[in-house]
Amino acid sequence: MSCLALSLQPVNGPDVLLQTREWFPPSRALVALSSFRHTRLSLSSKSPSSDPQPDLIGDDPLAASSGQLIVGVESRYRVIYRLVNTIYVLGITTADQDSSINVFECIHLVNQAVSVVVAACRGVDVTPEKLARKYAEVYMALDIVLRGVSSIRLSAMLSSMHGEGIAKMVHSALDTEAKIRGADSWPALEPHSVEHVAGVEAFSANRFELPPETLSTGDEVAATIAPAAPAEQEESKGEEEAAGPKDPFAASDKLNEPEELVSGFKKNKDSSSADLTVALAGLEVTTLPPAEATQSTHIGVEGFEGDYGGIEFGNEQASLGETFEGFSEAWGGGLDPSEFVGPTKAKKSEGLGGLELLQTGPDATDAAKAAAAADGKAPLENLVQKTEMKGPEMFISEEISAEFRESLLARVGLMGRVCLRTLPTKTSGDKETEFSFRVEGTSLVKRFIMQNSCVSSLGNGLFHVRTAASDEPIPILKYSLLPKSTPLPLRVRLMQRHSGTLLSVMIQYVSNPELPAPLKDVTFVLKLPVDPTLLKVSPKAILNRSEKELKWIISEIPLIGSPGKLRVRMPVDTSPEDGGEEIEVVGYVKFSWQGPSSLSGICLRPASEGSTDFYEVSHKYESGVYMCN
């Protein structure tokens, strides 16, 4: 949804009303309203020549009747406001630039709320005192507007706000649009529907017979209308009537009859059938290519000499059909790459670090042929083989962020996505992907979000997917874990000591022993306060002077063992005795892992046991902002 809350805030005084959605906490809405009020007051206290705030979108709220404003620090919200006399009508939405957030829809809801306020105060002279007299009506109307209302129903609500009361405004919504459009309501049409159903049931229950006179008259009329039957059918019908009823278990007379052609075709006794040109007139025969097209092409490029293409009929193939079948093989038709690539790989001999491969000429060709004969494997067998997808694939991608302050964990968060990889569009075409699956191990999940356009929830952890084919993975579910239950793959501790003009920093790290496999190729990045002139590190590291950072790459961190240590010592310009600012050093960790299970323990299962609606491939998790200071 675009709009999360609607509020009425006077220019001077406390807020009059706040209406939020069920799943949006009112405390967050109050924080956004308070930030809007402080920003508005700070702008009013500034001089006109002062620069406006960078987060302000649109005009100055004190000088314009409407606009937008982004407020908040950690949780940022977009407040869409409209000033009516002395009352600000506010709409709160998120500040994310997401395709699901429609700012214009939120602006439309704010305009509808303005119409409600103006109708409640009987004009644009809107004051808190007038709103207090119609507080219940305004409250219920804004609740309906926040959930979504059409222009027809909004007009009916505004017309019944002063006369018929809240009950008429709320409960008459079902038939309001039908009445205004001129359509009949269901209570008026229900008796006719009941009468129609009763008539159908009564008619279907009756049984009656027509008199014989009516049947005979009908047969006479049908005889005059029906076409005359052929004479052969009349004779056969007379013979069957004369014979009388037959024994159903008697042997069929067709056993003694001569065999007929397929589907009862009769032989044509016409003499013209002996002419082959007439018999072949309706057949389509593919013409053979000219003789020049069947000849092979000679290629004289060095290393690719030979004849390619063409059609050759050897003695071992007796017919055109056998030759055509040869083209159905993977490398059939004389295009076998082994003819010009070579059946074996060139063997690399130990020499000057690969410089011997630069040799050219006939000697190099002979050496390559000799090396190829020594190896028994074809070059195509050593290439990476891309596995073909058998069906839709699903995997979990998670990103964990954490901040350590010395040895204490300050904050942690894990965001996960369940992704779907459909069959490629070239394979599936316009066919949609549709199946059901189950998500298990969700006891630690804090919040689930679905992609409503392609997935729906069936309850009890069951989900149904229906989407078009795509060449890129589609995220269909997003979730976050409770911070206290988030598993940490790596614990990091940063310690620094500033003695005189010498700065010493040490990073300790240890792996979580419950991980399914040790982390590999872990990168530690230490942001240095200055560009060092002298530097002493242990173990060896990579120094980037332009970015002022030091980088270690650890090939593998064992699951069980003593903590690893990274040390660095460097001189700085200041000392603690000078009373200068404290030097801040920050370290970052980057890692990733891919395997059969997820870090959070969430797993994907088919909706029913034994079904293969999708294939679960390798899951992965990686570090987001994983830092220590």
- pLDDT per position as a tens digit, 249-262: 555 565 566 655 55
pLDDT exceeds cutoff 80 at 291 = no
> Is residue 98, in this structure, part of any structural domain at all?
yes
Share of the chain above pLDDT 70, in %: 66
> Is residue 329, in this structure, part of any structural domain at all?
no
| CATH, residue 103 | 3.30.450
Q: What integer pLDDT is reported at residue 26 of this predicted model? A: 86
Q: Choose the weakest-confidence range: 290-304, 343-357, 361-375, 443-457.
A: 343-357
Higher pLDDT, 44 or 399: 399
CB distance 3 to 106 below 8 Å: yes
Q: How large is the average pLDDT for residues 190-194?
A: 83
Higher pLDDT, 159 or 310: 159
Q: What integer pLDDT is reported at residue 321 of this predicted model? A: 41
Q: What is the pLDDT of residues 369-418, one digit of tens each?
A: 555 555 544 454 455 555 677 889 999 999 999 999 888 888 899 999 99
Domain count, the chain: 2
CB distance 494 to 505 below 8 Å: yes
pLDDT exceeds cutoff 80 at 143 = yes
Q: What integer pLDDT is reported at residue 235 of this predicted model? A: 58
> Is residue 282, in this structure, part of any structural domain at all?
no
Which tokens belong to 458?
């069936």
Cβ partners under 8 Å of residue 44, min gap 6:
62
Domain final residue, candidates 116, 132, 149: 149
CB distance 551 to 523 below 8 Å: yes
Q: What integer pLDDT is reported at residue 627 of this predicted model? A: 93
Cβ partners under 8 Å of residue 592, min gap 6:
620, 621, 622, 623
Higher pLDDT, 526 or 612: 526
d(CA 341, CA 281): 48
d(CA 569, CA 493): 17
Q: What integer pLDDT is reported at residue 302 of this predicted model? A: 59
pLDDT exceeds cutoff 60 at 324 = no
Query: 136: exposed, middle or buried (C-beta count within 10 Å: 0-12, 13-18, 19+)?
Result: exposed
> Is residue 391, in this structure, part of any structural domain at all?
no
Domain final residue, candidates 96, 124, 149: 149
pLDDT exceeds cutoff 50 at 224 = yes
Q: What is the pLDDT of residues 504-548, one digit of tens each?
A: 999 999 999 999 899 999 999 999 888 888 889 989 999 988 889
Q: What is the pLDDT of residues 95-119, one digit of tens each?
A: 876 656 678 888 888 988 898 888 8
Q: How large is the average pLDDT for residues 470-495?
A: 90
d(CA 4, CA 7): 10
Q: What integer pLDDT is reported at residue 586 of this predicted model? A: 93
Query: pLDDT category, 344, cuts 50, 70, 90?
Result: very low
Query: pLDDT category, 351, cuts 50, 70, 90?
Result: very low
Q: What is the pLDDT of residues 152-189, one digit of tens each?
A: 777 777 777 776 666 666 666 556 666 666 566 667 77
Dihedral (Cα; 307, 309, 310, 314), 10-degree rounding? 70
Higher pLDDT, 312 or 177: 177
Which strands sit side by side in the sheet containing 433-440, from one edge to the other? 455-459, 462-467, 433-440, 603-606
Q: What integer pLDDT is reported at residue 349 of this predicted model? A: 47
> Is residue 482, in this structure, part of any structural domain at all?
no
Listed in sequence order, the DSSP H helices in 357-431 are 362-374, 425-428
Domain region containing 571? 490-590
Cβ partners under 8 Å of residue 73, min gap 6:
none
Which tokens belong to 401?
């962020």
Average pLDDT of every residue of the chain: 75
Q: What is the pLDDT of residues 3-26, one digit of tens each?
A: 889 999 888 888 888 888 888 888
Three-state SS for 603? strand
**In whole angstroms, what separates CA 573 from the centre of its chain?**
53
pLDDT exceeds cutoff 80 at 70 = yes
Range of 111-115, 266-270, 405-409, 586-590 with top mean pLDDT: 586-590
What H or E segment, with its residue span, contains residue 57? strand 56-57
pLDDT exceeds cutoff 60 at 285 = no
DSSP state of 161: T
Across 150-241, the runs of DSSP E, i.e. the strands, are: none
Strands 474-481 and 445-450: antiparallel
> Is residue 548, in this structure, part of any structural domain at all?
yes
d(CA 472, CA 187): 51
Among 490, 494, 493, smallest CA distance to 559 is for 490
First to last CA, the chain: 38
Higher pLDDT, 479 or 311: 479
| CATH, residue 503 | 2.60.40.1170
Share of the chain above pLDDT 90, in %: 18
Domain final residue, candidates 149, 174, 189: 149
> Is residue 551, in this structure, part of any structural domain at all?
yes
> Is residue 245, in this structure, part of any structural domain at all?
no
pLDDT exceeds cutoff 60 at 123 = yes
What H or E segment, with its residue span, contains residue 411? strand 408-421
d(CA 482, CA 391): 34
pLDDT exceeds cutoff 50 at 209 = yes
Range of 140-149, 321-330, 376-385 with top mean pLDDT: 140-149
